[in-house]
Chain A
Amino acid sequence: MLTLLLIFWPLLATLVFFAIKPHEAKKWALAASLIELAISLVLVILFDTEDSTQFVINHPWIESLGIGFYIGIDGISLLLVLLTTVLTPLIILSSFKQQYENAPSFYGLVLFMEMALLGVFCALDGFLFYIFWEMALIPIYFICLRWGGVNRGPVTLKFFIYTLAGSLVMLIGLIYLYFQTPGDHTFNIQALYAAGQNLTVYEQGIIFWALFIAFAVKMPVFPFHTWQPDTYHTAPTAGTMLLSGIMLKMGIYGVIRWLIPVVPDGVESWGTTALTLSVIGIVYASFLAIIQKDLKRLVAYSSIAHVGLIAAGIFTLNRIGLQGAMIQMVSHGIVIVGLFYIIDIIIARTATQEIANLGGIRSSAPIFNSVFIIILLGSVALPLTSGFVGEFLLINAVFQYNFVSGAFAALTMIFGAVYMLRSFQMTMLGESNAATKSFLDIDRQEKWVLYPIVIMILLIGIYPAPLLKVSEVAVDDLLSIISNYHAGIRN
Chain B
Amino acid sequence: MELIVSLIPLAPLSGFLLIALLNKKLRQWLVALMACSSVLFSFFLSVALFFSLGEDQQAFTFTGFDWITAGNFSVSFSLLVDPLSILMMLIITGVGFLIHVYSAGYMHGDEGYNRFFAYLNLFIFFMLILVMGSNYLLMFVGWEGVGLCSYLLIGFWFKNTEYNNAAKKAFIMNRIGDLGLILGVIMIFIHFGTLSYQEVFAKAPELMSGSETITIITILLFIGAIGKSAQIPLYTWLPDAMAGPTPVSALIHAATMVTAGIYMIARNNILYSLSPFTLDLIIVIGLATALVAATIAVAQNDIKKVLAYSTVSQLGLMFLALGLGAYTSGVFHMTTHAFFKALLFLGAGSVIHGMGGEQDIRNMGGLRKYLPITFATFLIGTLAISGIPPFAGFFSKDEILATAFAENKIVWALAFFASLLTAFYMFRLFFLTFSGTTRGKQEAGHHIHESPGTMTTPLIILAVLSAIGGFIGVPELLGGSHALNNFLAPVFEQSRALATPHLLSHTMELILIAVVVALTLVVIFLAYLLYVRSKKVPTPEGVTLNTFHRLIYNKYYVDETYEKIILKPLNFLYKALDALVERLLIDRAVNGAGKAVTWGGKTLRFVQTGNTGFYIFAMVISIIILLVVKTFV
Contact = CB atoms under 8 A, between A and B. Distances in A.
Contacts of B189: 396
Contacts of A383: 137, 140-141, 144-145
Interface stretch (B153-161, B332-340, B431-439, B498-506): B153-161
A371 to B, nearest CB: 12
Interface string B62-97: 000111111111000000000000000000000000
Interface string A156-185: 011011101100100100010001000000
A429 B164 contact: yes
A284 B619 CA distance: 35
A220 B569 CA distance: 28
B614 A160 contact: yes
A159 to B, nearest CB: 10
A478 interface: no
A362 B351 CA distance: 31
Range of interface residues on B (Cβ < 8 Å): 35 or more
B549 interface: no
Contact of B178 (A165, A393, A413, A463): A413
Contacts of B407: none
B593 interface: yes
Interface in A248-286: 284
B478 interface: no
Instruction: Classify the interface of chain B: helix, strand, loop or mixed.
Output: helix
Contact of A320 (B23, B73, B158, B587): B73
B186 A288 contact: no
Nearest to A416: B175
Contacts of A429: 155, 158-159, 161, 164
B573 interface: yes
B71 A414 contact: no
B60 to A, nearest CB: 24
A168 B622 contact: yes
A166 to B, nearest CB: 11
Interface stretch (A1-9, A28-36, A98-106, A417-425): A417-425
A360 to B, nearest CB: 7
A452 interface: no
A157 B615 CA distance: 11
Contact of B183 (A160, A161, A410): A410
A320 B594 CA distance: 39
B264 interface: no
B586 interface: yes
Contacts of B160: 430
Interface string A302-333: 00000000000000001110011000000000
Interface in A220-250: 223, 225-227
A287 B618 contact: no
Nearest to A230: B587
B70 A468 contact: yes
Interface in B547-581: 571, 573-575, 577-578, 581
A360 B72 CA distance: 47
Contacts of B141: 383-384
A340 B406 CA distance: 61
B172 interface: yes
Given A383-B145, A411-B179, A430 B614 contact: no
Interface stretch (A41-49, A133-141, A205-213): A133-141
B158 A430 contact: yes
A147 to B, nearest CB: 17
Nearest to B625: A175
B59 interface: no
A414 B172 contact: yes
A377 B175 CA distance: 13
A489 interface: no
B294 to A, nearest CB: 29
B158 A410 contact: no
A34 B71 CA distance: 34
Given A413-B178, A417-B171, A464 B626 contact: no
A158 B614 contact: no
Contacts of B20: 370
A388 to B, nearest CB: 8
Contacts of B151: 421
Interface stretch (A13-21, A113-121, A346-354, A399-407): A399-407
A407 B577 CA distance: 21
A395 B179 CA distance: 11
Interface string A63-75: 0110000000000
Contact of A465 (B67, B165, B598, B618): B67
A257 B311 CA distance: 55
B179 A465 contact: no
B443 to A, nearest CB: 28
Contacts of A318: 71
B122 to A, nearest CB: 11
A377 B186 contact: no
B578 A465 contact: no
Contacts of B619: 134
A452 B633 CA distance: 54
B449 interface: no
B68 A161 contact: no
B217 to A, nearest CB: 12
B144 to A, nearest CB: 5
A392 B183 contact: no
Interface string B527-548: 0000000000000000000000
A168 B618 contact: yes
B70 A431 contact: no
A287 B582 CA distance: 11
B322 interface: no
B607 interface: no
B566 to A, nearest CB: 12
B587 A226 contact: yes
A291 interface: yes
Nearest to A471: B70
A290 interface: yes
Contacts of A284: 577, 581
A179 B626 contact: no
Contacts of A395: 182-183, 186
Contacts of A370: 20
A76 to B, nearest CB: 14
Contacts of A393: 68, 70, 73
Nearest to A168: B618
Contacts of A287: 573-574, 577
Contacts of A366: 23
B614 A164 contact: yes
A465 B614 contact: no
Interface in B182-236: 182-183, 186-187, 189-190
Contact of B622 (A171, A411, A464): A171
Nearest to A127: B626
Contacts of A165: 593, 597
Interface in A352-370: 360, 362-363, 366, 370
A389 interface: yes
B630 A65 contact: yes
Contacts of A382: 144-145, 148
Nearest to B138: A383
A362 B156 CA distance: 12
Interface string A419-448: 001100100111100000000000000000
Contacts of A319: 70-72
B6 to A, nearest CB: 14
B175 A414 contact: yes
A421 B173 CA distance: 13
B581 to A, nearest CB: 8
The 5 A-B residue pairs whose C-beta atoms are closest, nearest first, are A319-B71, A323-B70, A383-B141, A429-B158, A291-B574
15 contacts: A158-B590, A175-B626, A284-B577, A290-B574, A291-B575, A320-B72, A389-B68, A393-B73, A395-B183, A395-B186, A399-B190, A410-B179, A421-B172, A431-B159, A463-B65
Given A226-B590, A383-B140, A429-B161, 5 more contacts: A287-B577, A370-B20, A382-B148, A413-B178, A468-B70
